[in-house]
Amino acid sequence: MQALRAFEAAARFENLSAAAEELHVTHGAVSRQVAALEAWLGMPIFHRIGKRVQLTDDGRRYLLTVQAAFDNIAAATRLLRESGTVRVLHINALSTFAMRWLLPRLSGFQRLYPGVELKLSTSTSQQPLGEAGERFDVAIRRGPGHWPNCEYGEFLEESELPVCSPALLARTPIRVAGDLAAHTLLHSDTRPDAWPNWLAAAGVAPARCRKKQSFDHFYLALQAAIDGLGVALGPLPLIADELASGRLVTPLAEPVIRTRSYWWIVARQQAGSPLIRHFCDWLQQEARR
C-alpha cells in the first residue's frame, strides 16, 4: 500500500519531491517505494527526465485503476463510518418521470435501505444537467445525451401511444387514427414534436387534427387525459398503473413510437460511492420488472 500511495502521488504530480511533500516523507523514500514497485511489476512505469518523472503508457493505464481503487476504498470507509447515522441521497429527475414512475416505487428502495434519507428534486427536459439549481448525487434524464465528466447508464425504454379516459372514448369512439380529428389533442411544451411525429407515422395529416390544448408540463397533459379533456400521447411504461386501473385506455394498438429512454447519471468523482451504486442498480432492477 505504501508503494501504491507513493506511485499515485508521484504520477499525479509527475514529481517525486511534490509527492514526498504531500505524503510527509523524504524524496528518497518516495523514490525507493517507486523503484520497489517497478521491480515487483517487472517493468518501468516512469520515464526519468532529469528531476522529473513521466508516466509510461502502461503506467498511465495502471494509474487509472489504482486511483479508482483508492476512491472505492475511501467511499467504502466513509460509508462504514456513517453506519448507524442517517445518510442523505439527493436525486434529481424529470417531473413526469418522478411523479409517474419513481415516486410509486421509492418505498421499495427505502425498505431495503431504511437508514437513507431521500431528497428528490425535479427539473424539466430543457434544463441542462448541472443547471437544475439543486445538488444531486444521481440525476435521471432522457438520453443518450452529452454528460461530460459523468458516468451514466440506460435503464428504462419508453414508447408512446394515444391514451384517453374510458368515458371520453365511450362518447366519441376512436377506431382508426383518422378518428383523432374529432378529438382535442393534448400537447406538452416539453415534448413539442410528440404529436406531429406520431400522426406522421400513422399517416394522418396534422392539419386534420386542429383541436388542441397545450400545457407547459407533460404530467399536466396526462392528468388532463385522465380527467377526460382530450387525448394525450401516453408514455409506456410510465402510465402502466393508470392503464392497469382503467383510468386511461389505449384505443389504438399502433403505431407504437419509440422515444428517448431514461438514463441515470452520476458525477465521475462520486461513481465509486456504494450508496449511489446501490441506487443505480436498484433503478435497473425496477426497470426489468
The structural domains of the chain, ordered by start, are 2-81 (1.10.10.10), 87-150+261-288 (3.40.190.10), 159-260 (3.40.190.10)
Write the burial class of residue 171 (CB in 10 Å: 0-12 exposed, 13-18 middle, 19+ buried): exposed
- Calculate Rg over the CA atoms of the chain: 27
Q: What is the rounded average pLDDT of the residues 86-99?
A: 88
Grid cell of 160 as nine digits: 408512446
Question: CA nearest 195: which of 183, 186, 203?
Answer: 186
Residue 21, phi-psi category: left (phi > 0), alpha (psi -120 to 50), beta (remainder): alpha
Cβ-defined contacts of 192-201 (< 8 Å, 24+): 194/160, 194/233, 194/259, 195/233, 197/257, 198/160, 198/162, 198/233, 198/255, 198/257, 201/255, 201/257
Average pLDDT over residues 202-217: 89
Three-state DSSP state, 15: strand
Strands 46-49 and 52-55: antiparallel
% of the chain beyond a pLDDT of 90: 56
Average pLDDT over residues 195-199: 93
Question: Higher pLDDT residue, 87 or 86?
Answer: 87
Distance CA 25, CA 18 (A): 10
What is the pTM assigned to this prediction? 0.64
CB neighbour burial string for 193-229, b if at least 16 within 10 angstroms, e if fewer: ebbebbbeebebeeeebeeeeebebbbbbbbbbbeeb
Q: E-assigned strands of the chain?
A: 46-49, 52-55, 87-94, 116-123, 138-143, 150-163, 185-188, 212-215, 232-236, 257-267
Q: Is the pLDDT of residue 146 over 90?
A: no
Would you state the cell numbers that stand for residue 127, as one nine-digit string? Answer: 434544463
CB contact at 8 A, 91 and 121: yes
**pLDDT for 214-242, tens place per residue?**
998 888 999 999 999 999 998 888 888 89
Asked if residue 87 lies in contact with residue 115, where contact means CB atoms within 8 angstroms, the answer is yes
Measured between alpha carbons, how far is 251 from 187 in angstroms, rounded to an integer?
Answer: 18
Kindly tell me if the per-residue pLDDT of 17 is higher than 60.
yes
Nearest to 55 by CA among 3, 2, 16, 29: 16
H helix intervals, 98-233:
103-112, 166-171, 194-202, 218-226
At residue 69, does pLDDT exceed 60?
A: yes
What is the arithmetic mean of pLDDT over 202-225? 90
Predicted confidence (pLDDT) per residue in 176-192, tens digit: 999 999 999 999 988 88
Mean pLDDT of 66-80: 79
Query: Would you say residue 256 has pLDDT above 80?
Result: yes
pLDDT at site 48: 87
For the ranges 132-136, 169-173, 220-224, 284-288, the lowest mean pLDDT is seen at 132-136
CB count within 10 Å of CB 153 equals 13
Write down the pLDDT at residue 207. Answer: 82
